[in-house]
A and B are shown apart, each in its own frame.
Chain A
Amino acid sequence: MFCRNQTARATIARGSALEMEIRRGKFRQSVLMETPQDSDIQKKIDYEIRMREGACKLLAACSQRDQALEASKSLLTCNARIMAYMSELQRMKEAQVMQRVARRSSDAGPMDDRSPCKAKVAISDLRIPLMWKDTEYFKNKGELHRCAVFCLLQLGGEIFDTDMVMVDRTLTDICFDNTIVFNEASPGFELRVELYSCCSEEDYSAGSTPRKLASKLSTSLGRSSGKKMRGALEPGACSPTSNGGGAAILLPVPSVPGPKYHLLAHTTLNLSHVQDSFRTHDFTITGNEECSYWLPLYGGVCCRLAAQPHCMTQQMMSGCLRVKLGGEPQGWTNVYGVLKGTNLFCYHQKEDMEANVEPVLTIGINKETRIRAAEKDPHSKAQNICITNQYGGEEVMHTLAADSREDTQHWMEAFWQQFYDMSQWRQCCDDLMKIELPSPRKPAIVTPKQGSLYHEMVIDTSDDIGTVTDILARRIEEFDLRSQLGSPPHWMSLFDEDPPRSPHSHQHLPPHSPSPRLHSRCHRTPGLLSSNASLTSDSDSPTSVRPCFRQAWSPDSNSSSGRFRPRTLSLDAKLSTLRGRGYGGFRCNCQPPTASSGSPRPTQIALSCSSSTSSSSSSEGSNSQESDLGFSRPSSARRSLRNLRAKLDPRNWLQSQV
Chain B
Amino acid sequence: QQRIEIHKLRDGDNLILGFSIGGGIDQDPSQNPFSEDKTDKGIYVTRVSKGGPAEVAGLRMGDKIMQVNGWDMTMVTHDQARKKLTKKNEDVVRLLVTRKSLENAVRQSMMQH
Binding site for B on A (CB under 8 A): 166, 170, 442, 444-447, 449, 474, 481, 484-485, 584, 587, 589, 593-595, 609-610, 612-613, 616-617, 620-621, 623, 627, 651-658
Contacts and interface: CB of A to CB of B under 8 A. Distances in A.
Interface string B62-89: 0000000000000111111111111111
A595 B76 contact: yes
A617 B83 CA distance: 8
Contacts of A627: 14
Contacts of A651: 31
Interface in B27-78: 27-28, 31-32, 46-47, 49-50, 52, 75-78
Interface stretch (B5-13, B96-104, B105-113): B5-13
B16 A613 contact: no
Interface of B: 10-14, 16-28, 31-32, 46-47, 49-50, 52, 75-89
Contacts of B83: 613, 617, 620-621
Contacts, number: 97
B80 A610 contact: yes
A623 B84 CA distance: 12
A196 to B, nearest CB: 19
A597 to B, nearest CB: 9
B62 to A, nearest CB: 13
Nearest to A445: B49
A445 B46 CA distance: 15
Contact of A481 (B18, B49, B76, B82): B82
B16 A481 contact: no
B77 A609 contact: yes
B28 A657 contact: no
B44 to A, nearest CB: 9
A613 B79 contact: yes
17 contacts: A444-B49, A446-B16, A447-B16, A594-B25, A595-B77, A610-B26, A610-B77, A613-B77, A613-B83, A621-B89, A652-B28, A653-B23, A653-B31, A653-B32, A656-B78, A657-B47, A658-B19
Contact of B20 (A474, A485, A595): A474
A449 B12 contact: yes
Contacts of B49: 444-445
Given A446-B16, A610-B79, A653-B32, 5 more contacts: A481-B78, A587-B27, A613-B83, A621-B87, A653-B23
Contact of A446 (B11, B26, B82, B88): B11
Contacts of A612: 77
B77 A593 contact: yes
A589 B14 CA distance: 31
Nearest to A470: B47
B52 A444 contact: yes
Contacts of B27: 587, 653-654
Contacts of B76: 595
Interface centre among A446, A485, A584, by most chain B C-beta atoms within 10 angstroms, is A446
Given A481-B78, A610-B80, A616-B80, A656 B28 contact: no
Given A609-B77, A623-B86, A656 B20 contact: yes
Contacts of B21: 655-656, 658
Contacts of A654: 22, 24, 27, 78
A281 to B, nearest CB: 28
Contacts of B89: 621
B56 to A, nearest CB: 13
Contacts of A617: 83
Nearest to B17: A658
Nearest to A657: B20
B86 A621 contact: yes
Interface centre among B11, B49, B50, B83, by most chain A C-beta atoms within 10 angstroms, is B83
Nearest to A146: B12
Contacts of A587: 27-28
A595 B86 CA distance: 21
A166 B12 contact: yes
Nearest to B25: A595
B27 to A, nearest CB: 6
B78 A620 contact: no
A444 B17 CA distance: 11
Nearest to B88: A621
Interface centre among A445, A449, A593, A613, by most chain B C-beta atoms within 10 angstroms, is A613
A445 B89 CA distance: 22
A594 B10 CA distance: 35
B81 to A, nearest CB: 8
Given A444-B49, A609-B77, A656 B82 contact: yes
Closest 5 CB pairs of A and B: A653-B31, A610-B79, A610-B77, A609-B26, A621-B88
A148 B83 CA distance: 30
B82 A658 contact: yes
Contacts of B20: 474, 655-658
A658 B79 contact: no
Interface centre among B21, B77, B86, by most chain A C-beta atoms within 10 angstroms, is B77
Contacts of B78: 481, 609-610, 654, 656
A442 B82 contact: no
A378 to B, nearest CB: 71
B77 A481 contact: no
Nearest to A474: B20
A361 to B, nearest CB: 47
A160 to B, nearest CB: 25
B54 to A, nearest CB: 8
A449 B77 contact: no
A170 B10 contact: yes
Nearest to A593: B26
A285 B28 CA distance: 59
A613 B14 contact: no
Interface centre among A584, A612, A623, by most chain B C-beta atoms within 10 angstroms, is A623
Contacts of B31: 584, 651, 653
B38 to A, nearest CB: 11
Interface centre among A166, A595, A627, A655, by most chain B C-beta atoms within 10 angstroms, is A655
Contacts of B14: 446-447, 449, 627
A655 B46 contact: yes
B65 to A, nearest CB: 10
A595 B78 CA distance: 12
Nearest to B13: A449
Nearest to A589: B26
Interface centre among B50, B77, B79, B88, by most chain A C-beta atoms within 10 angstroms, is B79
A485 B26 CA distance: 13
